[in-house]
Amino acid sequence: MQCMPAALTAKDEELVAVSSSYVKYAIEQEYLRAEIDRLKDELAQGNKRECEELPVNGT
């Protein structure tokens, strides 16, 4: 005798929706963290370049 899967209940559908939303949120957060890190690196490189270009002792 094979087990037949029961139809999804409203609670099951709600859990699937919440899980999907959480996964989407987690992916977005990871993307934003990576973007923030990239921008911090870009800013640090820009600041480093500006410091290298400044004249020493006002010359």
Does the pTM surpass 0.75? The reply is no
Q: Domain spans of the chain?
A: 27-54
Q: What per-residue confidence (pLDDT) applies to 59?
A: 52
43's tokens: 């800013």
* pLDDT tens-place string over residues 8-55: 788 999 999 999 999 999 999 999 999 999 999 999 888 777 777 767
Q: Match 């400044």 to its residue by tokens.
A: 54
Q: What per-residue confidence (pLDDT) applies to 46?
A: 84
Gap between the Cα atoms of 51 and 25, Å rounded? 39
Residue 4 has pLDDT above 80, yes or no: no
